[in-house]
A and B are shown apart, each in its own frame.
Chain A
Amino acid sequence: MTKPRYTRRQALENCIAKGLLIGGAAMSQSQLFAAYQAGEAAAQKPTPKEVLGPFYKKGAPNNTTMRAPGAPGFPLEISGRVMNTKGQILHEAKVDIWHADHVGHYDTAGYTYRTKISPDAKGNYKVDTILPGHYDDRPAQHVHYLISAPGHKPLITQAYFATDPFFEGDPDKNFKKRGIVGNRELVLPVRLYEAPGTPRVSITFDLILEKA
């Protein structure tokens, strides 16, 4: 796994320094940077919506580690940013995340694989969990989200996995199969890490809310 050499900020600063990004009017470097970033952020599309489903449970604990030590299942890290369509960070957002266990069972008695977290000051969130299992009624692996933030419409959505056998290796072609997934954008690429001892996978899922 190779990490990007530059952050978005560093890349933009390099572009400005090398004359690859030039202001239309007389602008200082910081004005140019801010204006470009604002314009880029303004183009953010809201995250597509999905159904809530019947197994949402109120009162989940604030817990970024949903995976118990030694729990069966393929370790999964989910991370992303929580922002609005203007690119403003929503650090006051509450993010409910829940999914089935490795055999496709939802815990309705307790809160296994259920959490309610807030992003950090930079709008980032990260949870440590497992890849959800498959179940007959909705046979694509998925993670449920309910996000609320003051002044914004609640967002109900789901993340799917491009590696899921359900998509037969071709999510572009097969994402509409059986009418389960509403939007191709929600089928996310999966990264495999060879962590010491155990391989694990990760997905990045940005949550972009619309103003109320």
Chain B
Amino acid sequence: MPSDKLIQTTSETGPLSFSADSLAAWCRDGKVHFYSLQTGAETRTVEIPQNARRSFTFGPRSLYAASANAEHVIALRDLKNGEILHQFRGHTAGVGRMAISDDNRQLASTSAEELSIRLWDIPTSNQRHKLPDGIGGASAVAFSPDGKTLVVANNDTDLRVFDTQSGKLVKLITEQLLAMFDMSFSPDGKLLAAAGADGVISLFDSTSWRKLRELKGQPHLIGALRFSPDGKLLATGGFDADTVRNPVKVILFNAATGAALRTLDAPHTVRSLEFSADSALFAASYGEKRISLWSTTA
């Protein structure tokens, strides 16, 4: 495996996603670019049409991607060739944050104007539930690894936990004073890590939904957060409250002890942070024509 390196890109980078041998990045040129993990070289691109770039999310292992167009229709594309596999119709206003479940069978989409969350069955393209959201627009969306739970964070600072089968609100978590900007489940599904404008990682028990503990040490607000696939690490990417142009820190924590294992520099607010499947690498994008790829063990 390579040690720390920069992958040079031809366009500014946004969301990232690892597969077994490559790193995919949605870029500002409207294409998904794939880079070899061995060499860092670009291997291929998939175009997302001009009118379908308003909202974008990768599915697990960058097999699929969902994006919404100006008519609020969401398309799920096969990232092997860009072919549209499913379309999801129902939103009447702008689509915001979205997420795809680990088994690629469920899609959650949000709309700040509609004050709602829609849960779609991917194989049939049918809307299964329309769920009530808070008043400020969704700031993060996460499925539990088993797909049975959906958590939506809202800019009004509340977290809503839904049962994806029944569509019932299982828990409304209101204790946070500030909004959570990203969330990540531990791979065993027992913990939900959430972080945002308070710069602290909050770890919630996914049965009681009580906050178990907090991990501190990120000097900025936190814009991106991920559990490693082996569950041992948590990475946070800084979010600068004053301007996206200020440098920030990326910090790798031991998830069990909260110890900061690596502290790295990013030139701007981190847009996306992802681990490779073997937890050996993690990557950050920050709106520049490059991606930082770091080893977790250095």
Stretch of B30-38, B208-216, B239-247, B277-285 at the chain-chain interface: B239-247
* 12 new A-B contacts at CB < 8 Å, known A103-B242, A136-B245: A53-B155, A54-B181, A56-B157, A56-B179, A57-B177, A57-B197, A105-B241, A108-B198, A108-B199, A108-B221, A108-B241, A135-B243
- Count chain A residues whose beta carbon lies closer than 8 angstroms to a beta carbon of B: 20
Residues of B within 8 A of A146 (CB): 135, 156
Residues of B within 8 A of A106 (CB): 241
Residues of A within 8 A of B139 (CB): 54
Chain B interfacial positions (CB closer than 8 Å to A): 112, 135-137, 139, 155-157, 176-179, 181, 196-199, 221, 241-245
B177–A59 CB distance below 8 A = yes
B136–A136 CB distance below 8 A = no
In the complex, A104 Cα to B245 Cα: how many Å? 14
Indicate whether A156 sits within 8 Å of B157 (C-beta atoms), given known contacts A57-B178, A135-B242: no
Q: At the interface, yes or no: A51 with Cβ under 8 Å from chain B?
A: yes
Residues of A within 8 A of B199 (CB): 108
Q: At the interface, yes or no: A52 with Cβ under 8 Å from chain B?
A: yes
In the complex, A2 Cα to B242 Cα: how many Å? 39
A56–B241 CB distance below 8 A = no
In the complex, A53 Cα to B137 Cα: how many Å? 9
In the complex, A58 Cα to B196 Cα: how many Å? 14
- 3 nearest A-B residue pairs (beta carbon): A52-B136, A136-B243, A52-B155
A54–B155 CB distance below 8 A = yes
In the complex, A104 Cα to B157 Cα: how many Å? 21
In the complex, A105 Cα to B243 Cα: how many Å? 9
Residues of B within 8 A of A103 (CB): 242
B177–A156 CB distance below 8 A = no
In the complex, A59 Cα to B137 Cα: how many Å? 19
Which among A51, A58, A105, A154 is the interface contact of B157 at CB below 8 angstroms? A58
Interface residues of chain A: helix, strand, loop or mixed (majority): loop
In the complex, A137 Cα to B196 Cα: how many Å? 17
**Nearest B residue to A111, CB-CB:** B177
Distance in angstroms from B22 CB to nearest chain A CB is 32
Which among B135, B221, B243 is the interface contact of A52 at CB below 8 angstroms? B135
Q: At the interface, yes or no: A193 with Cβ under 8 Å from chain B?
A: no
**Nearest A residue to B246, CB-CB:** A136
Residues of A within 8 A of B155 (CB): 51-54, 56
**Nearest A residue to B136, CB-CB:** A52
Residues of B within 8 A of A135 (CB): 242-243
In the complex, A156 Cα to B112 Cα: how many Å? 11
In the complex, A51 Cα to B176 Cα: how many Å? 20
Distance in angstroms from A143 CB to nearest chain B CB is 16
Residues of B within 8 A of A59 (CB): 177
Residues of A within 8 A of B245 (CB): 136
B179–A137 CB distance below 8 A = no
Residues of A within 8 A of B136 (CB): 51-52, 56, 156
**Nearest A residue to B178, CB-CB:** A57
Residues of B within 8 A of A154 (CB): 135
Which among B135, B181, B196 is the interface contact of A156 at CB below 8 angstroms? B135
Q: Which of A59, A146, A156 has the most CB of B within 10 A?
A: A156
In the complex, A136 Cα to B241 Cα: how many Å? 10
